[in-house]
Amino acid sequence: MSSQTMNCFLVEKSESNDVRTRLTAVAIPDLNDGDVLIKVKYSSLNYKDAMAATGHPGIVRNFPHVPGVDAVGVVLESRDSRFSVGDEVLATGHELGVERWGGWSSHLVAPADWLVPLPGELTLEESMTIGTAGFTAAQCVQALLKHGCKAEDGPVIVSGATGGVGSLSVMLLANLGFDVLAVTGKPDRHDWLKQFGASEVVGRDALAGNEKRPLLKGEFAAGIDTVGGQVLATMLKKIQHRGCVACCGVVGGGEISTTVYPFILRGIALYGIDSAWCPDDARAEIWTKLATDWKLDDLLETKVDLSLTTVNEAVEQILAGKFSGRGVIQIDE
Ligand SMILES: NC(=O)c1ccc[n+]([C@@H]2O[C@H](COP(=O)([O-])OP(=O)(O)OC[C@H]3O[C@@H](n4cnc5c(N)ncnc54)[C@H](OP(=O)(O)O)[C@@H]3O)[C@@H](O)[C@H]2O)c1
């Protein structure tokens, strides 16, 4: 296969450390035992992809690089007995688009262990509208449910609500009957969030952390935090007794300054969510839920259509916190 080429979004670094990107054709990598070659139909834009597309050293260590932590497509060649030519498969996380070349390409070579058969209830496009963001949102929601949270316990607060993880968290929670308070920095997106199920929408001031007290009024049964930093620290102070928070994000900072009081006086639990290396059985369970019981009727309304030609502008927007919903990249023939 290496004599064939693939069209991809290539990130390169010059000797003077300038990062530049271009669409180009490169040789399709050789397959090892256990690998599968996929004709990619769709990928998506996650915050991590934007970091990869700009050569962030915390994400990309080897150049040239192809971003894309998500991909869905059709098997062209398989060196693993679990997959056959013509199968529709999706891949999210693991080392895709980070240590290994990812889905912003016409072709992808990935270990079979990283692939999930596309659930029959989802179209290729729907699966990438979910992508890593939706998969992470679903893991956050599942953490709350496993903790024992019920709709009647009170409202759930979601930060970074217009983002990929945030918006799908709002939708999944609302679909399960929860009252959702969405926190956003985008005043023009309040109606958009209400359309997707938020009962109330407030500005980021709600979690700005100007209050220095170790505990604030316990207004929420639970929270999903996609931002980190002060936002997470403040959210913890506002959770009621025996509630919980699921955290996954870092757009607002990687450090949290908190006290032990939410934990020892209110028994709050903090669940960390990792999507990249989610174990296979848990991964399959989440995808099945997303395709069946938790399937979102209005999922595609969150979609922003992108291509490898237009994605650079969206990369700038997402890094500036100005992107809403899910960027889905259609890969041209
Ligand atoms: N742990 C995991 O496995 C995992 C998986 C997926 C994503 N993540 C992380 O989760 C986070 C969200 O990912 P995403 O793909 O959903 O990104 P995204 O689409 O860019 O969403 C992030 C949202 O956070 C808000 N925001 C941005 N900058 C902010 C700031 N400085 N302070 C407060 N709020 C800010 C914005 O929403 P508003 O304008 O509505 O406030 C933005 O839309 C990222 O840090 C990403 O790396 C982690």
Average pLDDT, the chain: 97
* Residue-level pLDDT at 21: 97
Does any ligand 1 atom lie closer than 6 A to the CB of residue 226?
A: yes
Whether the per-residue pLDDT at 1 is higher than 60: the answer is no
Query: pLDDT tens across 9-18, in order?
Result: 999 999 999 9
**CA atoms of 31 and 118, how far apart (whole Å):** 22
**CA atoms of 221 and 244, how far apart (whole Å):** 7
Does any ligand 1 atom lie closer than 6 A to the CB of residue 162?
A: yes
Query: pLDDT tens across 47-68, in order?
Result: 999 999 999 999 999 999 999 9
Does any ligand 1 atom lie closer than 6 A to the CB of residue 249?
A: yes
CATH number listed for the domain at residues 132-272: 3.40.50.720
Whether the per-residue pLDDT at 329 is higher than 80: the answer is yes
Query: pLDDT tens across 142-165, in order?
Result: 999 999 999 999 999 999 999 999
* Residue-level pLDDT at 95: 97
Distance 43 CA to ligand 1 centre (A): 18
In this structure, what token pair is assigned to residue 90? 């999706």
Confidence of residue 44 (pLDDT cuts 50, 70, 90): very high
Nearest CA to ligand 1 atom 33: 252
Does any ligand 1 atom lie closer than 6 A to the CB of residue 321?
A: yes
Q: Give the Å distances, CA to CA, from 57 to 49, 60, 133, 171.
A: 13, 5, 22, 33
Whole-model pTM: value is 0.97
**CA atoms of 171 and 32, how far apart (whole Å):** 40
For 178, residues 6+ apart whose C-beta sits below 8 A from its C-beta are 149, 151, 155, 156
**Ligand 1 mutation target, pool 43, 44, 47, most atoms within 8 A of CB:** 47
* Residue-level pLDDT at 99: 95
* Residue-level pLDDT at 209: 84
Query: pLDDT tens across 70-97, in order?
Result: 999 999 999 999 999 999 999 999 999 9
**CA atoms of 67 and 154, how far apart (whole Å):** 40
Cβ proximity of 189 and 324 under 8 Å: yes
* Residue-level pLDDT at 3: 65
Cβ proximity of 84 and 104 under 8 Å: no
Whether omega for the bond prior to residue 279 falls within 30 degrees of 0, making it cis, is: no
* Residue-level pLDDT at 286: 98
Query: pLDDT tens across 110-136, in order?
Result: 999 999 999 999 999 999 999 999 999
**Closest Cα partner for 44 from 290, 305, 321?**
305
- Read out DSSP for 97-117? TTTB--SSBSEEEEEGGGEEE
Does any ligand 1 atom lie closer than 6 A to the CB of residue 47?
A: yes
Query: pLDDT tens across 244-292, in order?
Result: 999 999 999 999 999 999 999 999 999 999 999 999 999 999 999 999 9
Cβ proximity of 318 and 93 under 8 Å: no
Atom of ligand 1 nearest to the CA of 323: 43
**Closest Cα partner for 155 from 243, 60, 230?**
243
Classify domain 5-118+301-330 at the CATH topology level.
Quinone Oxidoreductase; Chain A, domain 1 (3.90.180)
Does any ligand 1 atom lie closer than 6 A to the CB of residue 318?
A: yes
Nearest CA to ligand 1 atom 21: 163
Whether the per-residue pLDDT at 101 is higher than 60: the answer is yes
**CA atoms of 151 and 169, how far apart (whole Å):** 14
Listed in order, strand segments (DSSP E) in 232-322 are 239-247, 269-272, 303-307
Q: What's the residue count for the chain? A: 333
Whether the per-residue pLDDT at 2 is higher than 60: the answer is no
Does any ligand 1 atom lie closer than 6 A to the CB of residue 251?
A: yes
Atom of ligand 1 nearest to the CA of 136: 5
The identity of residue 290, as a single letter, is L
**CA atoms of 173 and 187, how far apart (whole Å):** 22
Distance 33 CA to ligand 1 centre (A): 36
Query: pLDDT tens across 180-220, in order?
Result: 999 999 999 999 999 999 999 999 999 998 888 999 999 99
* Residue-level pLDDT at 33: 97
Could you state, in order of their start, the residue ranges of all structural domains in the chain? 5-118+301-330, 132-272
**Ligand 1 mutation target, pool 227, 270, 273, most atoms within 8 A of CB:** 227
**Closest Cα partner for 71 from 30, 27, 111?**
111
Does any ligand 1 atom lie closer than 6 A to the CB of residue 276?
A: yes
Does any ligand 1 atom lie closer than 6 A to the CB of residue 169?
A: no
